[in-house]
Amino acid sequence: MITAGRVTVNGRVVRELGTRVDPQRDHVKVDSRHLKPVPPQVFLMLNKPKGYVSSLTDPVGRPTIADLLRGVRLRVFPVGRLDFDSEGLILLTNDGDIGQRLLHPRYEVSKTYLIKVKGVLTGEEIVSLECGVTLEDGVTSPASVRKIRKAPQNSWLEVTISEGRRHQVKRMLEAVGHSVLKLTRVRFGPLVLGQLLPGEYRYLTDREANALRGLAKAQPSSVRNGRGARPATVQQAHRPTRPSSSRAEQSRVFDRAQARPRAGSRGRGTSRSSTPWPRRKSRGSADPGKRRVAMGSSMASRSGLRPSHSVRNTQSSVLGVARRRTES
């Protein structure tokens, strides 16, 4: 491609292999088509203060979080939102796939909030929040609620949820009879707000960014827990499954079946009581005369004659044959 003269750098044809270019400054074309450099993946953590909208623009003209991102050249967007009067951690990135996966309810990314509520919650109210409360849009998923400290009229809670409904935490507490006075998000998945001051931002470390990538690539929680898996057809739903086994295991099962006959079978070597007949002795170990007697007895039992009569007739026929041979 290069040696054929199809590549131009800043309007000049380049035929030499290994020519270095700066994708941020140089203008590179292939077949008269401009090649745009792929922007690097960016992750930012912002501590949103009160009085800012969790978007890059606002039709009403209120302050937005874009006013706090001075010095960020690449275009980023917020992953999730916080209310106008709420504060805390907001993740911003330029990777749409990761942002969508982190917000999808199937992945159940946890979000932790430090909340100041009016009044003191009872044990029954905390259990209701942990088990799920009924809202206008359905029952909430189980939450984790922990008391931080309490005052005579107010109390501080740490609430962790894995959903992202609109004003969910406030509506959950209002459902049990307590209004929210202050709300701060202190954790989003593996990210912790830490000592970041309100209105400031920082780039994620390599470890934090890799943790987000691994969380986005992980299997959804609904699939891991066996929920949401449906058969493709009715026949597959009612089709019996057979346990899989290796050839060696099948061979061992077959050998055991051959060595131990089933009870009640009447095949060769078994009786009604599944007791095998005793093994016959080898033919070379028995005496010839006794073998002839045994053969005569078995023939007599089959023909219905007495064993003694059958043996006597067999012996007389053998002697007659011997006499004729000697006379001739």
Residue 146 has pLDDT above 90, yes or no: yes
The model's pTM is 0.60
With cut-offs at 50, 70 and 90, classify the pLDDT of residue 321.
low
- Is-contact 166 105, C-beta < 8 A? no
Q: What value does the mean pLDDT of the chain take?
A: 76
Radius of gyration of the chain (CA): 44
Say what angle helices 206-217 and 96-103 make with each other, to 10 degrees. 70
Q: What is the pLDDT of residue 22?
A: 79
The count of residues in the chain is 328
Task: List the structure tokens of 128.
Answer: 């209701």
Mapped onto helix, strand or coil, the DSSP state of residue 171 is helix
Model pLDDT, residue 46: 97
Instruction: Give the model confidence (pLDDT) of 192-226 as tens digits.
Output: 999 999 999 999 999 999 999 988 887 665 545 55
DSSP 106: G
Percent of the chain with pLDDT over 70: 66
For 224-240, what is the mean pLDDT?
Answer: 41
Distance separating alpha carbons of residues 89 and 47, to the nearest angstrom: 5
The amino acid that residue 265 corresponds to is S
Q: Which residue has the higher pLDDT, 243 or 14?
A: 14
Over residues 310-320, the pLDDT tens digits come to 445 545 555 56
pLDDT value of residue 206:
94
Supply the residues annotated as catalytic.
Answer: 83
Q: Are 187 and 193 in contact (CB under 8 A)?
A: yes
Find, among 193, 165, 160, the residue nearest to 89 by Cα: 193
Window from 15-19, 142-146, 247-251 with minimum mean pLDDT? 247-251
Query: What structural domains does the chain harbor?
Result: 1-38 (3.10.290.10), 40-108+194-222 (3.30.70.580), 110-188 (3.30.70.1560)
Whole-number Å distance between alpha carbons of 305 and 303: 6
Question: What is the average per-residue pLDDT within 79-102?
Answer: 93
Section 144-155 average pLDDT: 86
What pLDDT is recorded for position 324? Answer: 63
Return the pLDDT at 199. Answer: 95
Is the pLDDT confidence value at 139 over 50? Answer: yes
